[in-house]
Amino acid sequence: MTLGLVILITLFVVLLVIDVPIAVVLASVTVVAAWALGYEQVLVTVASDMAAGPDSFTLLAIPFFVLAGEFLGAGGQARRLINFASAVVGRFPGGLAWVNTVTCMLFGAISGSAAAAVSSIGGTLIPEMNRKGYDRDFNIALTTSSATTGLLIPPSNVMIVYAVTMGGISIDKLFLAGVVPGILVGVMLMAISFVISWKKGIGGMESQQESILWSGLKALPSLTLVVVVLGGILSGMFTPTEASAIAVVWAFLLAVVCFREVKPREIADLVYRAARTSAVVLLLVAASRAMSMFLTNEQIPQMASAALMGLSDNPMVILLTINVMLLLVGIFMDMTPAVLIFTPILAPVSTALGLDPVHFGIIMIANLCIGLCTPPVGTCLFVGCSVGEGNIAKVSRAMIPFYIAMIVALLLISYFPQISLWLPGVFD
């Protein structure tokens, strides 16, 4: 282990423990480690690298997709999706649990935000499930885990971050690659929720207030957004960045003009919230670019690759090791910085294993989605407990069956590449 890596890791851990913002941590440890190793003009070099990080036309899609998600979240789309999912699957035993998962998948895919899905869907469905006799902790755990499927089903901001960090990866293929794995995770969660509901004798048959046709027609404008975005990208009509701008226009028309649930005076606040969220992401991109350049100069990715490849001659064992490592990373670090930091380090390993970079991206995102549901950093877990008024310790125990389901899905995604690569191959 080199001196630079020792300095970087030590300072990184110390700053994280004292709760310094992750973007500040990344920039600070890079400056200190580079200075300690005698790099010339450290501040100029780091500043230059940070300025180059967000300088990407592709990354412009992130603020647009975030803004589209804000309009959809405030525009009552969650309620329409809940009604549609209830009409489709609410009739089955444990129906509301299925409604929860399906709605989270739909809303997460449309908004591109797992936290927004937990807040929007959980705020409506968790109280309703409480009234129907479902256990509160189960309801929060189900909502929290289901919301992460929207990060695999496109459009997904974290996929854009991965594509830019990896370099040379087709966002079109990455979007398509996430569809089947996202559905797989959702189906696994639905199976677990059905078993738990059946064993506890809760849920029964849910009465439907609307027909599938009528609720589907009302949800159709929101669902069409995904079709327009993916269809336009795949047909070559527009780039992912242009698609994100179209998504904003579509979401604005739905929320402000069509359904009129967002008042003109509220638009400025939504834009501000989207700008604040986007600024955090882009600052992370800038800081991680500086760290990545330092790691590259010190040949850290090559050393990590050699160390992992030296663990075993069996690629399956090495891939399992990577999965375990990413699961541990997800417990202590949020998804975006984890992708930014560990993609450059693990990219040589995935290449040596012969993994398709698109497949590896889905493996990484599926891994880190689990981290969003685990303490002490799990964003979705904390949002779910806040919305559902639950205790984190109790909800974490209720999460155990869902952790198992997500890990089983992760292993299937990892060891059966066609789950991820089949759909991109169809459109190749």
Residue-wise pLDDT for 154-174, tens only, equals: 888 899 999 988 877 888 899
One-letter identity of residue 239 = T
Taking only the tens place, the pLDDT of each residue in 87-110 is 777 667 677 888 888 888 888 777
- Say if residues 189 and 408 touch (Cβ distance below 8 Å): no
Taking only the tens place, the pLDDT of each residue in 217-243 is 888 887 888 788 888 887 888 888 898
> Of 95 and 365, which is predicted with more confidence?
365
pLDDT for 289 beyond 90: no
Give the number of C-alpha atoms closer than 13 A to the C-alpha of residue 190, restricted to the C-beta side.
22
pLDDT for 1 beyond 60: no
pLDDT for the residue 209 = 60
Instruction: Give the Å distances, CA to CA, from 379 to 106, 132, 162.
Output: 19, 27, 19
Among the residue ranges 5-9, 50-54, 409-413, the one predicted with the least confidence is 5-9
pLDDT for the residue 415 = 95
pTM: 0.87
pLDDT for the residue 2 = 67
**pLDDT bucket at 302, cuts 50 / 70 / 90:** confident
> Of 7 and 385, which is predicted with more confidence?
385
- Say if residues 156 and 111 touch (Cβ distance below 8 Å): no
- Say if residues 373 and 145 touch (Cβ distance below 8 Å): yes
- Say if residues 330 and 338 touch (Cβ distance below 8 Å): yes
Alpha-helical segments (H) within 90-133: 95-111, 114-131
What mean pLDDT comes out for the span 104-124?
79
pLDDT for the residue 204 = 55
pLDDT for the residue 13 = 85
**pLDDT bucket at 269, cuts 50 / 70 / 90:** very high
**pLDDT bucket at 118, cuts 50 / 70 / 90:** confident
pLDDT for the residue 359 = 96
pLDDT for the residue 18 = 86
> Of 330 and 204, which is predicted with more confidence?
330
